[in-house]
Chain A
Amino acid sequence: MSDFGFHLAFWSLAAMTIGGASMIMVSRNLIHAVVWLVLSMLGVAGLYLTLSADFIAVVQVLIYVGAISVLMLFAIMLTPRAERDNSSSLKTAGPAGVVVIMVMIATFWVAIDTDWGSVREVALTDQARLIGESLIKHYILPFEIGAVLLTAALVGAIALAREDDEDAAVHAASLQAELDGLEFDPVDVVDPPIPAEPESEARS
């Protein structure tokens, strides 16, 4: 790869990443923030590509751009509108700033303190296979733990989201009562009273 092309790619991708990240902070509208976040993530994926890490780059797009951002959008859509956007007051700016500065210091500390080696040989070609092999051979235990954890999370999410039969019956009955303009008592659904003679209210 020619040097000029590489530098052009790196700097434009870096600008895209950091510009997107800054726009997240600036934008008041949370949906706009997510869109900028996606731009920033795409920039990161491009940076991976310049490092010849095509597997990681594709996975970055697949997971962060394709899945995480959609998840965020879902979370935003399920949030009440009043609490959705960034607040215009700067009440929380102080503590948040302190946290951000501490994280920045820690990151820079690690980045400067680490002895970065440089890789001389040509980038690996069949990365997916190598990653898969090391996951199955060397890191089999963390891999399995991760799998169990994800399964547990999945089951937990289903258990939380699942509507009880009883809840569903109460919900349906309340809707019906609202339609019929009747009083509604959830106890009647859970413990149904002995049915009286069939009603004939709609006949007139």
Chain B
Amino acid sequence: MMEIAGLSGILGAWYDFRDLNNLQRLITEWIADWGPDWLASIVTGLLGALGILGVIGPTLLVLIWVERKVIARFQQRYGPNRVGPKGLLQPVADAVKLILKEQLAPRAADKLIFFLPPVLIFIPGILIWGVLPFGPRMSVADLNVGVLFLLAVSGTAVLVIFMAGWSSNNKYALLGAMRAVAMSISYEVPMVLALLTLVVFSGTMSINGIVEWQQQEDVIFILLFPLTALVFFFAASAELNRTPADISEAESEIVAGYHTEYSGMRFGLFYAVELGNTLVVSGFIATFFLGGWWLWGLDEWVPSWIILLAKTGAVYFLLIWTRGTLPRLRVDQLMSLCWKALVPATLLFVVVAFVERTLLISEGWDTTIALPIMAVINIGLSLGAIMLFARVARPADLRRPARIRMAGAEIGGLRAARSVAARSEEPQFQVGGD
């Protein structure tokens, strides 16, 4: 009775953990036997939402520990090692501390808008999980317009960040918010173009469809569009405010950016959502460029969601790696990198994708022969573009500075640097001697 056509026995039973969708489907069918329609849809929705929350809540606690440990390893120190075995309970202690802390609000803050952002920031952070496919039939909502949904939902988070920064009535918070907004709308362009490449090439806007295309053609997109993958990776880390690009909360420049004035668990919520977004974006990078839940037939033997989680973990480690290794870019460097390097690079590959897709579809080229050739051509093009950027076309802001930067452009604290720079033939640090 509970069997799907063509499968028998263990397949499709509730304990077939290879596809958790079975469990949900059986519950729905069971309710539909005796209950009204709406109860089944409500239970299904709740199961999806609670499943997401129940998984990412504990995962975040572990991830905080993982990230701190790995970063510490990169920086040749121990990291958390006092609370619990190997410091494993440190995130729990931190969470308790954050909850017990006093919730301060600046007197001049815009009260209503100040209280909303820590709550609102959760909405895109949770919604975005809904379209991540964990298996062939394992996404909470397999939308036809999944890619657009992803972009739309992640775009709304900017607004919340702006609300947070503006309502704090603090110069640093506002600066951080404006930086976040400017960076986000800039880095959305290469992200959209990168996803457009995939959508054009696979001919579908459904995220599961993109994975299925990779499965069908036996290729992962990072081989076909390596530079696009790289750009998407960096743009995503910029959208996530992670360290090579975390100018909107750069501690050395603007205290903590848009959440400067948030204390206690309100800050904790921002932090949690940031970590959760990092995880889900790793998942999406794995889905788009590494084949998602599919891995050359291994998904026959290993549950698809374990494959996806493994790939997600690998991408997440890459994100920690870049965070631990690369220095923070300056705000103007970040902008110029986006507009002068990433956007042209992705545009190039959008055109390439159009041409190759036309060759495959209209000219009817055999994909088993054409795709490897295209992959080789695209890898060559990517290397060429990177070489061109590194040797010839690098924007002036990203070259190694020949003199002290920003020394002549600002007043105040940089006066010293300026006056040193002006007398560079005889450097000395006796500033304001008269």
Residues of B within 8 A of A125 (CB): 144
A124 CB to nearest B CB, Å: 10
Nearest CB in chain A to that of B411: its residue = A179
In the bound assembly, the distance between CA atoms of A65 and B352 in angstroms comes to 31
In the bound assembly, the distance between CA atoms of A48 and B102 in angstroms comes to 42
| Residue A58 at the chain B interface, CB threshold 8 Å | yes
A184 CB to nearest B CB, Å: 14
Asked whether, in the complex, the Cβ of A74 is within 8 Å of the Cβ of B181, the reply is yes
| Residue B272 at the chain A interface, CB threshold 8 Å | no
Asked whether, in the complex, the Cβ of B158 is within 8 Å of the Cβ of A58, the reply is no
- Quick one: given A61-B156, A179-B418, are A128 and B205 in contact (CB under 8 Å)? yes
Nearest CB in chain A to that of B199: its residue = A128
In the bound assembly, the distance between CA atoms of A61 and B156 in angstroms comes to 8
Residues of A within 8 A of B112 (CB): 32
| Residue B415 at the chain A interface, CB threshold 8 Å | yes
Give the size of the chain A interface in residues (CB under 8 angstroms).
Answer: 33
8 A Cβ contacts from B101-133 to A: 110, 112-113
Asked whether, in the complex, the Cβ of A73 is within 8 Å of the Cβ of B38, the reply is no
Asked whether, in the complex, the Cβ of A58 is within 8 Å of the Cβ of B159, the reply is no
- A interface SS class: helix
8 A Cβ contacts from A31-65 to B: 31-32, 35, 38, 54-55, 58-59, 61-62, 65
Asked whether, in the complex, the Cβ of A2 is within 8 Å of the Cβ of B181, the reply is no
A62 CB to nearest B CB, Å: 4
Give the size of the chain B interface in residues (CB under 8 angstroms).
Answer: 37
Asked whether, in the complex, the Cβ of A61 is within 8 Å of the Cβ of B185, the reply is no
- Quick one: given A62-B155, A66-B159, A70-B185, are A179 and B145 in contact (CB under 8 Å)? no
Q: Determine which of A29, A128, A178 lies in contact with B145 in the assembled complex, contact meaning CB atoms within 8 Å.
A: A128
Asked whether, in the complex, the Cβ of B144 is within 8 Å of the Cβ of A66, the reply is no
8 A Cβ contacts from B142-157 to A: 143-145, 148-149, 151-153, 155-156
Asked whether, in the complex, the Cβ of A61 is within 8 Å of the Cβ of B153, the reply is yes
Asked whether, in the complex, the Cβ of A62 is within 8 Å of the Cβ of B151, the reply is yes
Residues of B within 8 A of A69 (CB): 159
Asked whether, in the complex, the Cβ of A54 is within 8 Å of the Cβ of B144, the reply is yes
30 contacts between A and B (CB under 8 A): A2-B36, A4-B38, A29-B110, A31-B110, A31-B113, A31-B166, A54-B144, A55-B145, A55-B148, A58-B145, A61-B153, A61-B156, A62-B148, A65-B152, A66-B156, A66-B158, A66-B159, A67-B155, A70-B159, A70-B162, A73-B159, A74-B181, A128-B205, A172-B408, A172-B409, A175-B408, A175-B411, A202-B419, A202-B433, A202-B434
- A58-B145, A204-B433 given; 13 more Cβ-contact pairs under 8 Å: A31-B113, A54-B143, A54-B144, A58-B143, A58-B148, A58-B149, A61-B156, A62-B151, A65-B155, A66-B151, A128-B205, A175-B408, A202-B422
Residues of A bordering B, CB below 8 Å: 2, 4-5, 29, 31-32, 35, 38, 54-55, 58-59, 61-62, 65-67, 69-70, 73-74, 77, 125-128, 172, 175-176, 178-179, 202, 204
